[in-house]
Amino acid sequence: MKNITILGSTGSIGTAALEVVRMYPDRFRVVGLAAGRNIGLFRKQLKEFRPRVAAVAEVSAAERLRDLAGPVDILYGPEGIREVAAYGDADFVLSAISGSAGLMPTLSAVTVGKTIGLANKETLVMAGPLVNKAVAEHGATIIPVDSEHSAIFQCMKGHGGSDVRRLILTASGGPFHGRKDADLCDVRPEDALNHPTWQMGKKISIDSATLMNKGLEVIEAHYLFGFSPRDIDVIIHPQSIVHSFVEFIDGTLIAHLSLPDMKGPIAYALSYPERLDGVLAPCRLHELGTLTFERPDMERFPCLRHAYDALKAGGTATAVLNAANEMAVDAFMEGRITFHQIPVIIKKMLDAHRPEPLDDIETVLSADAWARRMFREFAEDF
């Protein structure tokens, strides 16, 4: 029986992980849960799984959960969530809190040497060198959960890095794949949220529509696998059946294929190095039809190029990229800026920033705070 903690249990990844737990009750026991503000769903999860410790974002939410029967210790705030992340009885921590809020809880799990299923790409986007250093110092293990990085992890199993020429991340292209620039002028948030193949949270859905999600994944792949930006490519694959390729030095490609369902990479991380039977529906190739691939258009979707530029700039540039993007997505969702203005503001923010070396986590947090302050000034011009 493996004891697991899920950070972000009410989000799309967290709820999918709990589905896997329901499928294999003899394999997994939930000992810790943390969530944000969806208290109704969180209450149901606490009653069903009876973790030993739990945390929510706000004290008022914790008070609303005090009436739960059973020995569930309800914590709150950033400190409470970090305490759940580091809970001693957990064998495995799934880091699935959305956005920059997932950085510090993930680091808390790292510093106590946990095995971490990483579904929060912002942890490595913001502080990749520091996280990797902490993993080495504390004996922690990171298993990627993003479908693309899980695919690469599986394709590279049994191969050394010297055998690999490049990594190729696939992207669906989002809801606006194939649409001309003029068609994107009046995009509404509900249009951008209508992803054609994946069921995801709001923020990641908008990132998929701008291709920023793929840019963040390029940065994550760099820190997970140690490849330079020039050796990490992106290819558009609208059917979302091939999740990534690994190209080897002899010219061969190994691809990872499955139906688009996050339970697959979640279950693989939970059970690694074993595989669980019957997690996904079979991928019947004769029923899939044609699988297509094309280069991404970085002129129409410049967020992907901005991510490569930030990674090449190094230091705090990727933390600023992430903060600027989070602020821009929020502004778009609230109707304060247009879809086209998201990459424009991000580019202005990157141009205004002078990257600093990542000496410590305070440097990362300072860059993040700078970007959020500056964003409000830049957004006033639109």
- Check residue 161 and give its pLDDT: 77
C-alpha span between 241 and 235 (Å, rounded):
13
- Check residue 195 and give its pLDDT: 67
Q: What is the DSSP letter of 279?
A: -
- Check residue 162 and give its pLDDT: 87
Domains and CATH numbers, the chain: 2-144 (3.40.50.720), 161-260+296-379 (1.10.1740.10)
C-alpha span between 247 and 367 (Å, rounded):
35
The SS3 of residue 273 is coil
> How is residue 222 written in tokens?
């760099």
- Check residue 123 and give its pLDDT: 97
- Check residue 300 and give its pLDDT: 87
- Check residue 109 and give its pLDDT: 98
C-alpha span between 31 and 381 (Å, rounded):
48
C-alpha span between 346 and 326 (Å, rounded):
10
C-alpha span between 155 and 284 (Å, rounded):
20
- Check residue 60 and give its pLDDT: 86
Residue closest to 9 by CA, chosen among 37, 39, 34, 27: 34
- Check residue 178 and give its pLDDT: 65
C-alpha span between 215 and 169 (Å, rounded):
10
**Per-residue confidence in pLDDT tens, the chain, 382 aa:** 999 999 999 999 999 999 999 999 999 999 999 999 899 999 999 999 999 999 999 988 888 887 775 667 789 999 999 999 999 999 999 999 999 999 999 999 999 999 999 999 999 999 999 999 999 999 999 999 999 999 999 999 878 778 999 999 999 987 776 666 545 667 777 776 776 666 667 888 889 889 999 999 999 999 999 999 999 999 999 999 999 999 999 999 999 999 999 999 999 999 999 999 999 999 998 998 899 999 999 988 999 999 999 999 999 999 999 999 999 999 999 989 988 899 999 999 999 999 999 999 999 999 999 999 999 887 776 6
- Check residue 61 and give its pLDDT: 85
Per-residue pLDDT of 132-182, as tens digits, reads 999 999 999 999 999 999 999 999 987 877 899 999 999 998 777 666 654
Residue closest to 192 by CA, chosen among 290, 299, 301: 301
- Check residue 69 and give its pLDDT: 52
Residue 216 CA, chain-centre distance (Å), reads 8
